[in-house]
Structure 1
Amino acid sequence: MKIRVYYEDTDTGGIVYHSNYLNFCERARSQAFFDKGMVPVLDDGHFVARRIVADYFKSAKLGDILEIKTQLVEMKAASFTLKQGIYKEDEKLFELEILLVHTSFEGAVKKIDQKTKELILTLF
């Protein structure tokens, strides 16, 4: 997914504020569902972030066009791990690894059903 950096994404110096890299990655994950005509909330629950490891390599700036690339790292019974990178052209600016856990709407951890696992495999 490609995005442009807008003024609202930056500090007063035109540099992307650190937490916005997480927002950009979240948009890319959500967009994968939207591209399939779906929303990232399932009939029986949703996915919540349990762990995020982030590395910042270089700053993005106002007006930059960024590409967010996402790949599935691991699928387990009730969770999956993604690696996401943010690039400006071929240069990696940011990378995160995120563990997403499937929960009921009440917050209880739930096993991911086979249909949802297959969906995740097609999305990422």
Structure 2
Amino acid sequence: MPHIHTLRVYYEDTDMAGIVYYANYLKFIERGRSEWVRGIGVDQNALRDETGIVFAVRRIEADYLAPARLDDVLTVETGLTGISGARFVMDQRVLRGAQVLFAARVVVVAMSLDGRPQRLPEAVRTLMAA
């Protein structure tokens, strides 16, 4: 069951034609991932402060399928599709109603504050897998 995050398109999200600027979809799905992490009970600030581990996007494969426009209400769907020692993979979609506007597969890695790969703590893996 995917996590759902709802947002509205504001003027600042669009180009001169009133269409969502392509890079803003990445911001939308980042919000969706952040809300998913929060929703499963992981406090990213506490994770950083207590373990020195942060999350970073390593790879995104994205398909732009249809434009979103000023004042649209969008839904960001986020679902975990894989998890391993130091990374997890998520499929995300941005929808307007039932229409898929944007789809992405995102690979996120756990790393130390100095940029070295780190194994996901077992407690975090358990929350993600639940």
TM-score by length of 2: 0.87
Structure 2, unmatched stretches of 5+, are none
- Pick closer, same or farther for the CA change 1:68–1:102 going to 2, 3 Å: same
Task: Please give the root-mean-square deviation of Cα atoms over the aligned residues, in Å.
Answer: 1.4
- Pick closer, same or farther for the CA change 1:36–1:82 going to 2, 3 Å: closer
| SS in structure 2 of the partner of residue 96 of structure 1 | strand
- Amino acid in structure 2 at the alignment position of 1:111: R
CA distance in 1, matches of 2:60, 2:73: 24
- Partner in structure 1 of residue 10 of structure 2: 6
The reply on whether 1:58 has 2:66 as its aligned counterpart is yes
Match of 1:48 among 56, 63, 72: 56
The reply on whether 1:82 has 2:86 as its aligned counterpart is no
The reply on whether 1:104 has 2:108 as its aligned counterpart is no
The reply on whether 1:24 has 2:32 as its aligned counterpart is no
Runs of 4+ in 1 over 6 A off after TM superposition: none
User: Could you tell me whether the CA contact under 8 Å between 2:40 and 2:128 is conserved in 1?
Assistant: no
- Pick closer, same or farther for the CA change 1:47–1:97 going to 2, 3 Å: same
Question: 1:121 Cα shift?
Answer: 2.7
| SS in structure 2 of the partner of residue 115 of structure 1 | helix
User: Could you tell me whether the CA contact under 8 Å between 1:30 and 1:39 is conserved in 2?
Assistant: no
- Partner in structure 2 of residue 92 of structure 1: 100
Question: 1:114 Cα shift?
Answer: 1.1
